[in-house]
A and B are shown apart, each in its own frame.
Chain A
């Protein structure tokens, strides 16, 4: 099993540009989570999906952020327009079926907005 796959691993963009981060969860996992990690704020949950449906997006910082999960094997997190304060490492994690199983994290995407 390849684990959770994220792309790109690194992204450098200019302020105002659209950024799309991608995640492929582990096959068979039915919950997917997007996190953001910064030195100042630590690890923050942005949004999570159960069976491709967004359940809680209260962590999404503002309307510039959007996330989709069109099918069980793919999710995107989009920032439009991007701002320098969005610079962070974005992690995707997925959860195997079962109410108390652990989340498996991807390697993360390091986003730098200039």
Chain B
């Protein structure tokens, strides 16, 4: 079984400050990890993914995430937050074994960037 935990329901950060949205996962094999963002009344948009290789993954809108196998974490980061980054962020995982393609999503973290 695979699972994802986003321990923070809400993260507030001042504009211009660095932001971190936390994610930990559990899978039986090696993980494929994803971050999605959801703006109000919209569908989820893909931000970035880790499949293999470099542990630091860069994605859209200046976001990046660091894969840490020993801590089973995949935290989302951005060096300087913008008010427009305010949205709901989802971490997701799938196991790379077998043919199953479904993702397991975390509960989401509401990011608010304060001007």
Contacts and interface: CB of A to CB of B under 8 A. Distances in A.
Contacts, number: 48
A95 B45 contact: no
Max count, chain A CB within 10 A of own CB: residue among B43, B49, B103: B43
B102 A45 contact: yes
Contacts of A108: 42-43
A57 B73 CA distance: 29
B56 interface: no
Given A91-B43, A105-B45, A43 B102 contact: no
Nearest to B51: A100
A104 interface: yes
A93 B42 CA distance: 13
A33 B102 contact: yes
Contacts of B105: 42-43
Interface in A55-114: 55-56, 91, 93, 95, 99-100, 102-108
B25 interface: no
A100 B101 CA distance: 8
A43 B46 contact: no
Contacts of A33: 102
A106 B102 contact: no
B101 A48 contact: yes
